[in-house]
């Protein structure tokens, strides 16, 4: 069994590197924000309004031909990309193209109608050029709805983070909840930064991914925190830094195994789950890696700096450790 090679109790001195980790995270956070400000995010139509049309042409065509077929429509910032159904697919004799365009310039209620008309216009133009195309997907989101979706998305993140803060406060103490939420904010910022770097589309399912990352990272953090609390009760004389290092080490194999299985599942979605889920699974993969890192180096390490008090934790009965002699 592979586990034989994974030591039950490694003795890594994680906390020794916490200042380096803080510095690294700070650089990454500043970098992420800078990327978002300078490059911006590639928002999907969910958030900025516009039209997405996915068509399959009856024969193989060049993306350039599709682009030129649409040139007469005078679309605002049109993007045409070819879609590979999954990343390991074989060659086909048709072309699947994704056409994305922003909401046309207009005011008030007219823009809502104009967005809907744009979708119809694109299909008409393509049909006259390529004949019997298959309409695989058509989405037209007006600016009113997209504005609300953006608000809802931000709201969902804020609400989720606040609930986590309250939950950890309630279950542990505020020093823990500060660390946990800082780690979550760290994860969210770095994930958004990654979207700015890769320019993957940022849409509703990205928000779903962000919330799931928050849930996953929290899950990881709670496992370590639980252990910290337990060991703090048990080893009343050990220094905080050693208790935290020990807790992280004792949960390390679980952390790695769970991240491993989750990553396996996610990689499978990323490679085989099709275009629609690609952004989502990409965000999740990155988030799982970041979330695992932040649970150890942010959430746990911050406990050393928020002045957690043993007095409020040490209520539980202390169990004698079988290896107590070591301590």
Partner 1 sequence: MLQFPLWKRLLVLGVVMLGAWLCLPNLLNAGQRAGLPGFVPSETVKLGLDLKGGSYLLLEVDPEELQQNKLLELSRDIQRSLIKKPNNVKFRGREVIDGGVRFRVVEPSQVDEAKRRVRELSSPVGGIGGAQSLDISEQNGVMTVKFSNARLEELEVEALEDSIEVVRRRVDGSGTTDPNIQRQGSNRIVLEVPGLDDPTELIELIQRAGVMTVNLVDDAADATQYRVDEPRLGKVKRLDAYTPEEYVVFEDPILTGSDFTSASQGFDENNSPQINFTLNSRGAKAFGEFTTENVGNRFAIVLDGKVVSAANVRTPILSGSGRITGQFTIQEANAIAIVLRAGELPAKLQVVEQRVVGAGLGEDSIRAGTMASAIGLALVAVFMILAYGLWGVFAVVSLAANIMLLVGALSGLGATLTLPGIAGIILTIGMAVDANVLVFERIREENRNGRSPINSIEIGYKQAGSTILDANLTTLIAAAVLFWLGSGPVKGFAVTLGIGIFTSVFTAFVLTRMFMSDWVRTLRPKKLPV
Inter-axis angle of helices 252-272 and 275-294, nearest 10: 170
Residues touching partner 1: how many (CB under 8 A)?
82
Near partner 1 in 171-230, by CB under 8 A: 171, 204-205, 207-208, 211-212, 214-216, 218-220, 222-223, 226-227, 230
Residue 4 vs 37, nearer CB to partner 1: 4
Q: How far is the CB of 207 from partner 1 (least distance, A)?
A: 7
Near partner 1 in 9-48, by CB under 8 A: 9
Q: From the centroid of its chain, how far is CA 317?
A: 39
3-class secondary-structure state, position 132: coil
CB 57 within 8 A of CB 103: no
The number of beta carbons lying within 10 Å of the beta carbon of residue 90 is 5
Residue 31 vs 273, nearer CB to partner 1: 273
Residue 24 vs 159, nearer CB to partner 1: 159
d(CA 239, CA 12): 16
121 is an interface residue for partner 1 by CB under 8 A: no
d(CA 44, CA 203): 5
244 is an interface residue for partner 1 by CB under 8 A: no
The sign of the dihedral angle between the CA atoms of 31, 36, 37, 39 is positive
CB 269 within 8 A of CB 254: no
d(CA 187, CA 292): 10
109 is an interface residue for partner 1 by CB under 8 A: yes
250 is an interface residue for partner 1 by CB under 8 A: yes
Q: Which of 35, 41, 97, 164 binds partner 1 (CB under 8 A)?
A: 164
Near partner 1 in 252-311, by CB under 8 A: 253-254, 257-258, 260-266, 268-269, 271-274, 276-277, 280-281, 284
Near partner 1 in 73-102, by CB under 8 A: 85-86
167 is an interface residue for partner 1 by CB under 8 A: yes
What is the DSSP-derived secondary structure letter of residue 61? -
112 is an interface residue for partner 1 by CB under 8 A: yes
116 is an interface residue for partner 1 by CB under 8 A: yes
Q: Which two tokens stand for residue 64?
A: 């350039």
d(CA 171, CA 186): 22
Q: Which of 64, 77, 322, 325 binds partner 1 (CB under 8 A)?
A: 322
Instruction: Compose the 51-70 pattern: x for residues touching partner 1 by CB under 8 A, - for all others.
Output: ---x-x--------------
160 is an interface residue for partner 1 by CB under 8 A: yes
What is the DSSP-derived secondary structure letter of residue 68? H
318 is an interface residue for partner 1 by CB under 8 A: no
119 is an interface residue for partner 1 by CB under 8 A: yes
Residue 62 vs 148, nearer CB to partner 1: 148
155 is an interface residue for partner 1 by CB under 8 A: yes
163 is an interface residue for partner 1 by CB under 8 A: yes
Q: Which residues contact 312 (CB under 8 A, 6 or more apart)?
A: 173
Q: Which residues contact 167 (CB under 8 A, 6 or more apart)?
A: 177
């Amino acid at each position: 069994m592979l586990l034989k090679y994974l030591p039950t109790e490694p003795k890594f001195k994680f906390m020794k590197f916490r200042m380096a980790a803080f510095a690294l995270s700070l650089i990454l956070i500043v970098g992420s924000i800078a990327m978002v400000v300078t490059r911006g995010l590639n928002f999907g139509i969910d958030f900025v309004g516009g039209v997405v049309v996915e068509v399959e042409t009856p024969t193989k065509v060049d993306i350039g031909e599709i682009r030129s077929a649409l040139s007469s429509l005078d679309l605002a910032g049109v993007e045409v990309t070819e879609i590979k159904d999954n990343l390991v697919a074989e060659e086909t004799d048709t072309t699947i193209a994704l056409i994305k365009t922003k909401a046309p310039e207009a005011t008030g209620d007219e823009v809502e109608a104009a967005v809907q008309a744009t979708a119809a216009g694109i299909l008409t133009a393509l049909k006259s050029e390529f004949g019997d195309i298959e309409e695989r997907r058509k989405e037209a989101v007006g600016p009113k709805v997209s504005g609300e979706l953006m608000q809802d998305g931000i709201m969902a993140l804020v609400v989720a983070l606040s609930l986590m803060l309250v939950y950890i406060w309630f279950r542990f103490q505020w020093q823990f909840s500060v660390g946990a939420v800082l780690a979550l904010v760290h994860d969210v910022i770095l994930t958004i930064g990654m979207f700015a770097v890769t320019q993957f589309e940022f849409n509703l399912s990205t928000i779903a991914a962000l919330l799931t990352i928050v849930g996953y990272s929290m899950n990881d953090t709670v496992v370590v925190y639980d252990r910290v609390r337990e060991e703090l009760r048990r080893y009343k004389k050990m220094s905080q830094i050693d208790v935290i290092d020990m807790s992280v080490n004792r949960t390390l194999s679980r952390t790695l195994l769970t991240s491993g299985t989750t990553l396996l599942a996610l990689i499978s979605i990323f490679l085989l789950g099709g275009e629609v889920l690609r952004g989502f699974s990409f965000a999740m993969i990155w988030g799982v890696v970041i979330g695992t890192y932040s649970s150890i180096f942010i959430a746990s390490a911050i406990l050393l700096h928020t002045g957690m008090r043993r007095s409020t934790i040490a209520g539980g009965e202390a169990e004698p450790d079988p290896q107590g002699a070591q301590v």
